[in-house]
């Protein structure tokens, strides 16, 4: 009876995984199919990856996405880690309030945030005489950092909470100067959290579509925006090819994160 | 603690940059958007604008916007419901019935797509749902001669795509809540004479409620603000409030109306959080 | 080795005084226990000596030098934390070497001194282990070795044994005492475990509400508590209140408010003074009441309301009128006195300790 139930459970979980992965696998498969109309039977060909290699628009958008994601990673990880350290190591008035302020960037629909940024940046631009600065890669970067900051603060903060302040105090009683405490205790202990946070930040930016969509001026796009435009114009298998690459990059990144940062609060050694 | 001047500077120096950034990119823009929603002219028009309530009047006066809003909320409801129906059993199985390596592997596989590109995942459904797509081919091979199955550009397509996008949220939050329930509580319920179903209904379900609630909030909110998903999978069918807001900013260029609609969307979000908050608070306070 | 002197220490958190005028001197080589309920100020004092807390008023001197303005890392103290605070990213040897390393001690000397301190705490051979791979007791020893290897002037222990189970705790108490004696370092430790404080300390101080209630050798503080709090916090006590009815030959006769009389050393008492007397449960002898026996000073008749067996000893709850006396008795050959039986309680005059209420 128990085995029967277990088999049922396993079957159900596999069904859920099929639901999650089926479309992605189909898309990836069709990226290697010769027919431009997704016609079957399947015939292996790299024709769409070759077409992609010659598609300057997509490649340029891809380069923009990577550059923005890298800049976002550096900025959001540094600023977020600093804030997380302040929250983790000091008690001060307004701390709870400041931590609560991290939820709006996550909880408010991106559509609202993206359009609000557009409006605000436009007003600022007009006030200083350059309405053009409302949109562009710099504006997209500003938005991405804002969305990444809460994640960085939470991930680094979680790591910080796992390690008591007493470690740093202990180092001080042993004669370490504040700088030595930081370099020899705080940094090594925080490192896995910071690495995980930076990978999160990269993923948040690299996958971000909505904010970029509103802040991208015509002609300057990121990969998701360019893909969206192409989809709306009509299907092209090049999109399958680039999408397959994006999915692989994103999932690869997250697999690395998983090595540094346990999901779901499952601690080691409880099995 | 009374921080000394030095620690006060340290706190300011550490948190200042991040919060200044958030102020300039989230809080001030939201405030600017609120102001804009009360103006009669778009900032794109080089004429001075004046105060008006007309943008909100337009929303409350036209049944068109009401039906948009209703469909958005309905969409949110269906997506949340299906995510719960599919996700909760999966979370339960994962938290209570599967152990060790398997649990870790399946869990990772479930959260993995959730961090990959949302747009691309929605796009991938077009290849499954369209005529001559996987579902159509599957039906044809089982029932040759059956009518062509074309789900693309239908309501169900939008719901399927959104459930696919947000299901991991529900599984994740429910899993965390269920995993935190001590097995001895379930055993205690059984030892007190409750059968499996009663134990589940009276012990497991209430204790996992915070997970269900936060999962629902995490799904409902982005779904009612979605525009890209219904555009790709629903085409012209099932216009949502989100799609209309997008149009006000990109096509019609009626920014003040878009701003007002955005704030109505935000108000709906706040009402939902307000309704769910007591459940979360009550449960976490007891834990 | 060093003497630590705390004078007029005050620390406030808003309206609450965590330290409210504390004066204590820790003598050279002394093992000193700070005891009290949580929030009584004992930990605040320890952390002020370590340098984590700045006093609002008062001063702390080590060998006469005021250290109030000296930052933690220049104070030359050793500290063992409640959960040991071993650095998780370093092995045992690296943990112990840390304090020497940051002082730029030459590598050869570090190696030698780390080896010596591992011998001291009897952990030689575990140099390469990570803290996670050690048992609680081993972690404790590493933390101790790490704190001592820099040859600090003072050793501070913050509830050092609270994370260990009872058996291990007793073993570590002996170990701690041995090491402390061997080095002769002035040691200040915080605990809320009264038995631990009595076992380990040369002297103890009892804290309540930011003030030192009483300081002295464990025996004096236990046998001669100054007030109700000290008597009740350190061990158990029966409290008898009454009024002095007469004084003769250095002995005061006290009429209890619940009826009956006791005798107590008169000291500074005067006739008609209201007094509170603390009486330790193990000082009372308990026997079945012989037929026709009458109550007299320091002898009370009561009935057994409960006899609680705990292996080596018995705890009796004896009803006398509407109040309960607690009496401890060693588990000798006699069978426990039955419940509801009438018993006679007797004790010597010297054990009636007059305390402030």
**What percentage of chain C reaches a pLDDT higher than 70?**
100
Give me the count of residues in chain B: 287
Q: Which helix (H) or strand (E) holds C171?
A: helix C166-183
Q: Cβ of C52 under 8 Å from any chain A Cβ?
A: yes
**Which residue has tokens 């972690």?**
C139
Token pair belonging to B263: 């704030």
B66-78 confidence digits (pLDDT tens): 888 988 999 999 9
Hey, which residues 211-230 in chain C have their CB within 8 Å of chain B?
Answer: none
Among A95-109, B179-193, C97-111, C144-158, whose mean pLDDT is lowest?
Answer: B179-193
**Beta strand pairing call for C211-216 and C57-62:** unpaired
Give Cα B112 to chain centroid, integer Å. 17
- Which whole number is the average pLDDT over A47-59? 84
User: Which residues are CB-neighbours of B248 under 8 A, at least 6 positions away?
Assistant: B254, B255, B257, B258, B261
What order do you get walking across the sheet with C186-191 strand by strand?
C77-80, C154-158, C186-191, C31-35, C203-208, C211-216
Q: Is the pLDDT of residue A164 over 80?
A: yes
pLDDT band at A50; cut points 50, 70, 90: confident
Q: Determine contact: A171 vs chain C, CB below 8 A.
A: yes
* B256 neighbors B36 (Cβ within 8 angstroms): yes
Percentage of the residues of chain B whose pLDDT score is greater than 70: 95
Judge contact between C40 and C31, C-beta under 8 A.
Answer: no
8 Å CB contact of B30 and A108:
yes
Arithmetic mean of pLDDT, C217-223: 92
> CB contacts < 8 Å between A and B, how many?
265
Closest CA to A85 of A144, A158, A145, A148: A158
State mean pLDDT over B39-53.
81
Given a cut of 70, is residue B127 above it in pLDDT? yes
User: Does 1.10.3720.10 match the CATH number of domain B64-286?
Assistant: yes
Torsions phi, psi for B82 (to 5 deg): -65, -35
Query: Which residues of chain B are within 8 Å of residue A120 when distances are taken between CB atoms?
Result: 28-29, 32-33
Alpha-helix runs per DSSP H in C189-280: 194-200, 218-223, 228-233
Q: Which residues of A touch B125 (CB under 8 A)?
A: 23
Domain C238-355, CATH 2.40.50.140 — does that match?
Answer: yes
pLDDT, residue A251, reads: 82
Band of residue B118 on the pLDDT scale cut at 50, 70, 90: confident
A78 domain-assigned? yes
Residue A263's pLDDT is 45
Residue A44 in domain = no
Instruction: Test C77 with A173 for CB contact under 8 angstroms.
Output: yes
| Band of pLDDT at residue A262, cut at 50, 70 and 90 | low
Mean pLDDT of B202-208: 86
For residues B10-21, give the mean pLDDT. 92
Q: What is the pLDDT of residue A41?
A: 67
Indicate the range of B70-84, B175-189, C298-312 predicted with least confidence: B175-189
Q: Do A176 and C73 touch (CB under 8 A)?
A: yes
Question: Does B215 reach chain A within 8 Å, measured CB to CB?
Answer: no
Query: A167 and C72: CB-CB below 8 Å?
Result: no
Chains contacting C (3 or more CB pairs within 8 Å): A, B
Q: Touching check for A188 and chain C: CB below 8 Å? A: yes
Is A264 a residue whose pLDDT tops 70? no
What tens digit of pLDDT does each residue of C340-352 get?
999 999 999 889 9
Chain B to chain C Cβ contacts (< 8 Å) = 4
Judge whether C4-233 and C238-355 match in fold: no
Per-residue model confidence (pLDDT) at position A268: 37
Q: Give me the residue spans of the domains in chain C.
A: 4-233, 238-355
Residue C47 has a pLDDT of 93
pLDDT one-digit tens code per residue, A216-232: 998 888 999 998 888 88
Residues of C in contact with A164 (CB under 8 A): 83, 85
Asked if C52 is an interface residue toward chain B (Cβ–Cβ < 8 A), one would say no
Restricting to C residues 143-162, those with a Cβ less than 8 Å away from any Cβ of A are 146-147, 150, 156
Residue A40's pLDDT band (boundaries 50, 70, 90)?
low
Per-residue confidence (pLDDT) for residue B26, from 0 to 100: 94
Instruction: Tell me how far apart the alpha carbons of residues C4 and C26 are, in angstroms, rounded to a whole number.
Output: 5
Interface touch A116/B232, C-beta < 8 Å: no
Cβ–Cβ below 8 Å for A23 and B255:
no
Tell which wins on pLDDT, A157 or A259.
A157
Using a cut of 0.90, tell me whether the model's pTM lies above it: no
Residue listed under structure tokens 């929303």:
B59
| Residue B135 pLDDT class (50, 70, 90 cuts) | confident
pLDDT value of residue C81:
92
Per the domain annotation, does A169 fall within a domain?
yes
C107-153: per-residue pLDDT in tens? 999 999 999 999 988 888 899 999 999 998 899 999 999 999 999 99
Average pLDDT score over residue span C40-58: 92
Q: What percent of chain C has pLDDT over 90?
A: 57
- Which residues face C191 on adjacent strands? C35
Q: Which of B20, B23, B90, B117 to mutate to test the interface with A (most CBs of A within 10 A)?
A: B117
Whether B157 and chain A come into contact, CB under 8 Å, resolves to no
* Chain C CA closest to residue A186: C87
Q: What radius of gyration, in Å, describes the C-alpha atoms of chain A?
A: 23
Q: What span, in angstroms and rounded, lies between the C-alpha atoms of B178 and B188?
A: 16
CB contact under 8 A, C102 and A173: no
Residues of B in contact with A82 (CB under 8 A): 13-15, 17-18
Q: Dump pLDDT digits (tens) for C63-75.
A: 999 998 889 999 9
pLDDT at C331 over 90: no
Of A219-228, B73-82, B173-182, C332-341, highest mean pLDDT: B73-82
| pLDDT tier for residue A260 given thresholds of 50, 70 and 90 | low
What contacts B101, CB < 8 A, 6 or more positions away? none
Least confident piece of the model among A50-64, B139-153, C269-283, C326-340: B139-153
Q: Which of C87, C88, C150 sits opposite A175 (nearest CB)?
A: C150
Q: What is the pLDDT of residues B215-256, one digit of tens each?
A: 998 899 889 888 888 988 887 766 888 988 998 888 888 899
Q: Do B32 and A120 touch (CB under 8 A)?
A: yes
Chains touching chain A through at least 3 C-beta pairs below 8 angstroms are B, C
DSSP code at position A161:
H
Count Cβ neighbours within 10 Å for each residue of C177-202 and write b for 16 or more, e otherwise. eebbeeeebbbbbbbbbbebbbebbe
C268 touches chain B (CB under 8 A): no
Predicted local distance difference test score (pLDDT) of residue A142: 95
Q: What are the pLDDT digits (tens) for B190-202?
A: 888 778 788 888 8
| Interchain contact, B43 vs A38, CB within 8 Å | no
pLDDT digits (tens, 9 = 90+) for B251-273: 888 899 999 999 999 999 888 88
Superfamily of chain region C4-233: P-loop containing nucleotide triphosphate hydrolases (3.40.50.300)
Domain count, chain A: 1
Radius of gyration (C-alpha) of chain C in whole angstroms? 25
Give me the pLDDT at residue A39, please: 63
Cα separation, C260 vs C142, in Å, equals: 57
The percent of residues above 90 in pLDDT, for chain B, comes to 25
Phi-psi bin for C352: left (phi > 0), alpha (psi -120 to 50), beta? beta
Q: Is residue A71 part of a domain?
A: yes
Q: Taking 70 as the threshold, does the pLDDT of residue A19 lie above it? A: yes
Q: Which residues of A touch C156 (CB under 8 A)?
A: 173
- Its ipTM equals 0.86
pLDDT tens per residue, range C240-255: 999 999 888 888 999 9
**Any chain C CB within 8 A of the CB of A89?**
no
Nearest to C83 among A164, A173, A175 (CB): A164
Task: Flag if C54 and B4 touch (Cβ within 8 Å).
Answer: yes
Range of the domain at A59: 50-263
CB atoms within 10 A of CB C300: 24
Residue B237 has a pLDDT of 66
Per-residue confidence (pLDDT) for residue A269, from 0 to 100: 33
């Amino acid at each position: 009876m128990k085995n029967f139930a277990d088999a049922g459970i396993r079957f159900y979980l596999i069904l859920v995984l099929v639901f999650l992965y089926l479309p992605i696998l189909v898309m990836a498969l069709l990226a290697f199919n010769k027919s431009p109309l997704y016609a079957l039977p399947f015939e292996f060909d790299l024709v769409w990856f070759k077409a992609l290699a010659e598609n300057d628009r997509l490649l340029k958008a891809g380069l923009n996405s990577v550059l923005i994601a890298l800049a976002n990673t550096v900025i959001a990880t540094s600023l977020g880690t600093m804030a997380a350290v302040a929250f983790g190591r000091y008690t001060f008035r307004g701390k709870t309030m400041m931590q609560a302020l991290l939820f709006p960037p996550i909880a408010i629909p991106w559509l609202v945030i993206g359009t609000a940024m557009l409006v605000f940046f436009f007003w600022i631009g007009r006030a200083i005489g350059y309405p053009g600065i409302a949109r562009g890669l710099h504006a997209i970067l500003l938005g991405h950092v804002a969305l990444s900051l809460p994640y960085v603060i939470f991930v680094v903060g979680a790591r910080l909470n796992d390690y008591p302040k007493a470690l740093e105090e202990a180092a001080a009683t042993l004669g370490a100067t504040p700088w030595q405490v930081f370099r020899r205790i705080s940094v090594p202990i925080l490192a896995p959290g910071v690495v995980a946070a930076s990978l999160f930040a990269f993923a948040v930016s690299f996958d971000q579509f909505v904010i970029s969509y509103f802040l991208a001026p015509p002609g300057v796009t990121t990969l998701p925006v360019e893909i969206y435009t192409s989809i709306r114009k009509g299907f092209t298998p090049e999109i399958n090819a680039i999408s397959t690459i994006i999915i692989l990059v994103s999932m690869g990144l997250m697999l690395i994160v998983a090595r540094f940062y346990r999901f779901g609060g499952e601690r080691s050694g409880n099995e | 603690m009374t921080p000394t001047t030095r620690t006060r500077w340290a706190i300011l120096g550490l948190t200042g940059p991040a919060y200044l950034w958030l102020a300039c990119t989230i809080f001030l823009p939201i405030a600017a958007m609120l102001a804009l929603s009360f103006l009669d002219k778009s900032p794109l028009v080089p004429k001075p604008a004046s105060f008006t309530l007309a943008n909100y009047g337009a929303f409350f006066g036209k049944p068109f916007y009401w039906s948009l809003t209703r469909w958005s909320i309905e969409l949110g409801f269906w997506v949340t419901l299906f995510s719960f129906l599919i996700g909760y059993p999966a979370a339960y199985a994962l938290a209570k019935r599967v152990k060790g390596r398997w649990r870790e592997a399946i869990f990772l596989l479930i959260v993995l797509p959730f961090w990959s590109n949302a747009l691309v995942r929605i796009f991938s459904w077009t290849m499954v749902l369209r005529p001559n797509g996987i579902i159509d081919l599957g039906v044809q091979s089982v029932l040759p001669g059956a009518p062509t199955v074309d789900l693309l550009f239908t309501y169900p397509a939008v719901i399927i795509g959104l459930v696919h996008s947000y299901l991991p949220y529900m599984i994740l939050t429910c899993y965390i809540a269920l995993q935190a329930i001590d097995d001895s509580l379930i055993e205690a319920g059984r030892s007190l004479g409750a059968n499996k179903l009663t134990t589940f209904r009276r012990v497991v379900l209430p204790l996992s409620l915070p997970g269900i609630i936060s999962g629902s909030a995490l799904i409902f909110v982005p779904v009612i603000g979605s525009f890209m998903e219904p555009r790709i999978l629903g085409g012209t069918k099932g216009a949502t409030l989100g799609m209309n807001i997008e149009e006000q900013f990109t096509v019609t260029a009626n920014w003040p109306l878009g701003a007002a609609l955005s704030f109505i969307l935000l108000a709906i979000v706040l009402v939902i959080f307000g309704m769910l908050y007591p459940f979360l608070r009550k449960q976490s306070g007891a834990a | 080795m060093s003497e630590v002197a705390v004078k007029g220490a005050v620390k406030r958190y808003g309206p609450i005084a965590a330290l409210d005028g504390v004066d204590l001197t820790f003598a050279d080589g002394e093992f000193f226990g700070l005891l009290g309920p949580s929030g009584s100020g004992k930990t605040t004092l320890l952390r002020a000596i370590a340098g984590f807390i700045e006093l609002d008023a008062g001063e702390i001197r080590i060998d006469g030098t005021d250290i109030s303005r000296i930052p933690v890392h220049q104070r030359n103290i050793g500290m063992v934390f409640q959960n040991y605070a071993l650095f998780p990213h370093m092995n045992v040897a690296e943990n112990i070497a840390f304090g020497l390393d940051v002082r730029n001690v030459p590598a050869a000397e570090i190696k030698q001194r780390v080896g010596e301190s591992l011998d001291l705490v009897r952990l030689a051979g575990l140099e390469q282990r990570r803290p996670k791979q050690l048992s609680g007791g081993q972690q404790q020893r590493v933390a101790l070795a790490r704190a001592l290897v820099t040859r600090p002037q003072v050793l501070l222990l913050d509830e050092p044994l609270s994370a260990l189970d009872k058996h291990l705790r007793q073993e570590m108490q002996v170990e701690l005492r041995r090491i402390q004696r061997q080095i002769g370092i002035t040691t200040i430790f915080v605990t809320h475990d009264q038995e631990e404080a009595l076992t380990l300390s040369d002297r103890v101080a009892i804290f309540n509400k930011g003030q030192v209630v009483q300081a002295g050798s464990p025996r004096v503080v236990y046998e001669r508590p100054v007030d109700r709090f000290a008597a009740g916090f350190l061990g158990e006590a029966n409290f008898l209140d009454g009024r002095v009815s007469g004084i003769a030959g250095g002995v005061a006769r006290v009429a209890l408010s619940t009826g009956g009389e006791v005798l107590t050393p008169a000291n500074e008492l005067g006739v008609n003074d209201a007094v509170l007397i603390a009486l330790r449960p193990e000082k009372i002898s308990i026997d079945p009441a012989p037929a026709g026996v009458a109550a007299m000073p320091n002898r009370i008749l009561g009935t057994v309301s409960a006899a609680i067996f705990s292996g080596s000893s018995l705890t009796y709850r004896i009803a006398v009128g509407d109040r309960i006396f607690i009496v401890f008795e060693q588990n000798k050959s006699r069978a426990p006195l039955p419940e509801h039986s009438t018993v006679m309680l007797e004790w010597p005059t010297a054990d009636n300790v007059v305390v402030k209420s």
